[in-house]
Amino acid sequence: MKTNVYVLYGGKSAEHEVSLKSASAILNALDKEKYNVYPVFITKKGIWCSLGLLTHKIESVEELQVSSNESISNSIGRFLTDVLEEGENNIVFPALHGTNGEDGTIQGLLELLDIAYVGNEVLSSAVGMDKVIMKDVFVRHNLPVTNYTSMKLNIWKEDKEKAYREVEEKLTYPYYVKPANLGSSVGVSRAENRKELEKAIIEAFKYDTKIIIEEELIAREMQISVVGNDYPKASVPGEFIMERPFFDYNAKYIDGKIIPVIPARLDPDVSQKVRDLAVKAFKAINCYGLARVDIFVTDDNKIFINEINTMPGFTALSMSPALWKATDGTTYSELIERLIELGFERYRQKKAILRTR
Q: Specify whether 245 is located in the same domain as 335.
A: yes
Mean pLDDT of 158-184: 92
Which of 200, 215, 230 is at the close of a domain?
215
Q: How many domains are contained in the chain?
A: 3
Q: Is the pLDDT of residue 157 over 80?
A: yes
Q: Say if 25 falls within a structural domain.
A: yes
For the ranges 63-67, 85-89, 224-228, 245-249, the lowest mean pLDDT is seen at 245-249
Confidence (pLDDT) at 253: 47
In sequence order, the 6+-apart residues with CB closer than 8 A to the CB of 302 are: 144, 219
Q: Give 272-291 pLDDT, tens digit per residue.
A: 999 999 999 999 999 999 99
Do the Cβ atoms of 251 and 258 come closer than 8 Å? Answer: yes
Which of 71, 97, 117 is at the close of a domain?
117
Quote the domain boundaries for residue 80. 3-117
Q: Give 17-59 pLDDT, tens digit per residue.
A: 999 999 999 999 999 999 999 999 999 999 999 999 999 999 9
Q: Specify whether 86 is located in the same domain as 59.
A: yes
Q: Is the pLDDT of residue 299 over 50?
A: yes
CATH code of the domain containing 107: 3.40.50.20
pLDDT level of residue 248 (50, 70, 90 thresholds):
low
Q: Is the pLDDT of residue 256 over 50?
A: yes
CATH code of the domain containing 338: 3.30.470.20
Q: Specify whether 231 is located in the same domain as 199.
A: no
* Dist CA 42 CA 342 (whole Å): 24
Q: Say if 14 falls within a structural domain.
A: yes
Q: Specify whether 256 is located in the same domain as 335.
A: yes
Confidence (pLDDT) at 331: 93
Q: Is the pLDDT of residue 330 over 90?
A: yes
Q: Say if 127 falls within a structural domain.
A: no
- Average pLDDT over the chain, rounded to whole? 93
Q: Specify whether 204 is located in the same domain as 225.
A: no
For the ranges 4-8, 56-60, 96-100, 162-166, the lowest mean pLDDT is seen at 96-100
* Dist CA 212 CA 187 (whole Å): 11
Radius of gyration of the chain (CA): 20
187 or 251, higher pLDDT: 187
Q: Specify whether 110 is located in the same domain as 153.
A: no
Q: Is the pLDDT of residue 68 over 80?
A: yes
* Dist CA 283 CA 229 (whole Å): 9
What one-character-per-residue DSSP string does 72-130 give?
A: HHHHHHHIIIIIS-TTS-EEEEE---STTTTSSHHHHHHHHHT-EESS--HHHHHHHH-
Q: Specify whether 163 is located in the same domain as 69.
A: no
CATH code of the domain containing 196: 3.30.1490.20
Q: Say if 123 falls within a structural domain.
A: no
Task: Report the run of H or E that residue 201 belongs to, with start and end.
Answer: helix 194-204
Which of 169, 189, 215 is at the close of a domain?
215
Q: Specify whether 240 is located in the same domain as 209.
A: no
Q: Specify whether 202 is located in the same domain as 229.
A: no
Q: Specify whether 95 is located in the same domain as 166.
A: no
Do the Cβ atoms of 5 and 36 come closer than 8 Å? Answer: yes
* Dist CA 75 CA 69 (whole Å): 9
In sequence order, the 6+-apart residues with CB closer than 8 A to the CB of 307 are: 128, 131, 134, 293, 294
- The string over 261-297, giving b where at least 16 C-beta atoms fall within 10 Å of a residue's C-beta and e elsewhere, is ebbbebeeebbebbbebbbbbbebbebbbbbbbbbbb
Mean pLDDT of 331-346: 97
Mean pLDDT of 233-262: 71
Q: Say if 46 falls within a structural domain.
A: yes
Q: Say if 178 falls within a structural domain.
A: yes
Q: Indicate the SS3 state at residue 313.
A: coil
264, HSE (Cβ side, Cα atoms, 13 Å): 29
Q: Say if 110 falls within a structural domain.
A: yes
Q: Say if 56 falls within a structural domain.
A: yes
Mean pLDDT of 150-162: 97
For residue 33, with 0-12 CB atoms within 10 Å meaning exposed, 13-18 middle and 19 or more buried, which class applies?
Answer: exposed
Mean pLDDT of 338-344: 98
Q: Specify whether 245 is located in the same domain as 211.
A: no
* Dist CA 110 CA 104 (whole Å): 10
* Dist CA 160 CA 122 (whole Å): 34
Cis peptide leading into residue 263 (ω within 30°): yes
Confidence (pLDDT) at 87: 85
Q: Specify whether 11 is located in the same domain as 96.
A: yes
Mean pLDDT of 218-240: 97
Task: Report the run of H or E that residue 225 belongs to, with start and end.
Answer: strand 220-228
Confidence (pLDDT) at 6: 98
310 or 243, higher pLDDT: 310
pLDDT level of residue 78 (50, 70, 90 thresholds):
very high
Task: Give phi and psi for 155, each to the nearest 5.
Answer: -65, -40
Task: Give phi and psi for 3, each to the nearest 5.
Answer: -80, 135
Confidence (pLDDT) at 15: 87
